[in-house]
Amino acid sequence: MPSSLNIFFMVVITIRIKIYLSEAGKASRRGADKLISEGRVTINGKRDQIGDQVNPGDDVLVSGAPVRVARNHLYIALNKPVGITSTTEKNVKGNIVDLVNHPLRIFNIGRLDKDSEGLILLTNDGDIVNEILRAEHKHEKEYIVS
């Protein structure tokens, strides 16, 4: 990697319980709310409440059975250099995923032209991509071009 490449890795350390249960394949998010309201979910031996957070290392049980999520969400802030294409397509030479070379499957949030440089976010969290990019969320986008 070029020495001018700046990559910042951050792993989210907490996650809402219903998202945790959904990602573990135990229930949909609505189904998780039902499990919680029925008192079938515990975190570290205490009955869970809707909205509670799960931290790494917490002991989560549903009806007495342990629940594990296979991965944490990863968020990468990358100063994309000129010449790199904002795509996950492996057949594109100089793609952003090969540049970062992270072992998890990641994808970019938005795009920057190949001839552009600047901040771009990459993640393995599809929910945040939808939250950021979908028009109905009405996030203002501002570009500074020089």
Catalytic residues: 113
Architecture label for domain 15-66: Roll (3.10)
55 contacts: CB under 8 Å, gap ≥ 6? 13, 14
User: How high is the mean pLDDT in each 10-residue block of the chain (146 residues)?
Assistant: 51 74 81 92 90 86 86 86 94 95 86 93 82 81 77
Please report the pLDDT score of residue 11 as a whole number: 47
97 contacts: CB under 8 Å, gap ≥ 6? 87, 88, 90, 106, 107, 108, 122
Please report the pLDDT score of residue 71 as a whole number: 60
Please report the pLDDT score of residue 1 as a whole number: 43
Dihedral angle over CA of 36, 51, 46, 59, nearest 10? 90
* Domain boundaries of the chain, sorted by first residue: 15-66, 73-137
CATH number of 73-137: 3.30.70.580
Dihedral angle over CA of 70, 65, 57, 53, nearest 10? 90
